[in-house]
Amino acid sequence: MNKKMGRPPKQNQSRNKSLNIRLTEIELDRINSCAEMLKLSRTDTIMKGISLIEDKK
Local mean pLDDT, 10-residue blocks, the chain (57 residues): 66 84 98 98 96 95
- Residue 19 is predicted with a pLDDT of 94
- Please give the angle made by the CA atoms of 18, 23 and 12, to the nearest 5 degrees: 30
The pTM of this model reads 0.75
CB 42 within 8 A of CB 53: no
The CA distance from 21 to 47, in Å, is 15
Of 43, 19, 48, give the one whose Cα is nearest residue 32: 43
**What pLDDT is attached to residue 57?**
87
